[in-house]
Amino acid sequence: MDTMKLLLGATIALLLGALAVSWQNMHTGVKNAPQEELARMKKQIKELQDDQDKLKLERQRQQLRTELDKTPTPIGNAAELAAMKLQVEQNKRALEELEAAKAKAAGKKADRDEEGVIAVNDIEDKDGELKRARRISTALLIGRVKEIVEDAQSGGFITFEVLMPEQVQTGTILAIRRKTGILGQLKVSDVTPEGAIANPMAGFGPVKPQVGDELILPPQY
């Protein structure tokens, strides 16, 4: 820092000297200036330029040194990298523990569900009516009654909306489901894009069908 102050002071002194000589020559005329004086001024100007170059170089070195001081050391980078790796490993272990806990809970639920199914089957084996009701309630929905047409001579017929066309064709036997019971069975006599027609079969119960009743394939008890 002292060297720079000295260089700066010398530069200012040379500048003042050059200005003074230049001012004097302006009055006396450059042509009348001695050759020795001109040579001395040129030498001073050259020295002044050299000093300026040195000052500029020293300033650049100081700036570079400042930037290097601000750059993190490899040791610091290594420490940060190690900390990040440790955090990643901890997160990985926590995730594995969470997955293991979820799998364990799912296994316990599956065991409970299986135990529940076994218990229901045991009850149904002892109670045939309960088994019949469950099979009726879980039977696949095939269609839904749209209209009831009564005819004393032919026995009448119903029209119904077909929900599963692949299960309905002429001659298909369907049952009318209401809640967990069956009112009776029907036989499909005609199938159209708008719906289908079915006729009641013998043994149809006393309860009459209604619009909205569900049609299923009769379950096997």
C-alpha to C-alpha distance for 187 and 200, rounded to whole angstroms:
7
Q: Name the CA radius of gyration of the chain, rounded.
A: 53
Q: What is the pLDDT of residue 13?
A: 59
Angstrom distances, CA of residue 95 to CA of 84, 102, 129:
17, 11, 49
> Which residue did the predictor score with more confidence, 55 or 5?
55
The phi-psi region of residue 179 (left if phi > 0; otherwise alpha if psi is between -120 and 50; otherwise beta) is: left
Evaluate if residue 66 carries a pLDDT over 80.
no
Q: Average pLDDT in the 40-46 region?
A: 75
- Size (the chain), residues: 221
Q: Average pLDDT in the 120-129 region?
A: 56
> Which residue did the predictor score with more confidence, 150 or 215?
215
Q: What is the pLDDT of residue 109?
A: 67
C-alpha to C-alpha distance for 184 and 135, rounded to whole angstroms:
16
- Average pLDDT in the chain: 76
C-alpha to C-alpha distance for 73 and 62, rounded to whole angstroms:
19
Evaluate if residue 59 carries a pLDDT over 90.
no
pLDDT tens for each residue of 87-114: 888 888 888 888 888 887 777 666 565 5
The answer to whether the CB of 188 falls within 8 A of the CB of 170 is yes
Lowest mean pLDDT among 9-13, 118-122, 143-147: 118-122
pLDDT tens for each residue of 154-205: 678 999 999 999 999 999 999 999 888 888 899 999 999 899 999 998 877 6
Confidence of residue 30 (pLDDT cuts 50, 70, 90): very low
Evaluate if residue 120 carries a pLDDT over 50.
no
> Which residue did the predictor score with more confidence, 67 or 129?
129
- What pTM, to 2 d.p., does this model score? 0.42
Instruction: Using CB atoms within 10 Å of the CB of residue 186, give its burial: 0 to 12 exposed, 13 to 18 middle, 19+ buried.
Output: buried
Confidence of residue 19 (pLDDT cuts 50, 70, 90): low
Q: Residue 142: phi, psi to the nearest 5?
A: -100, -40
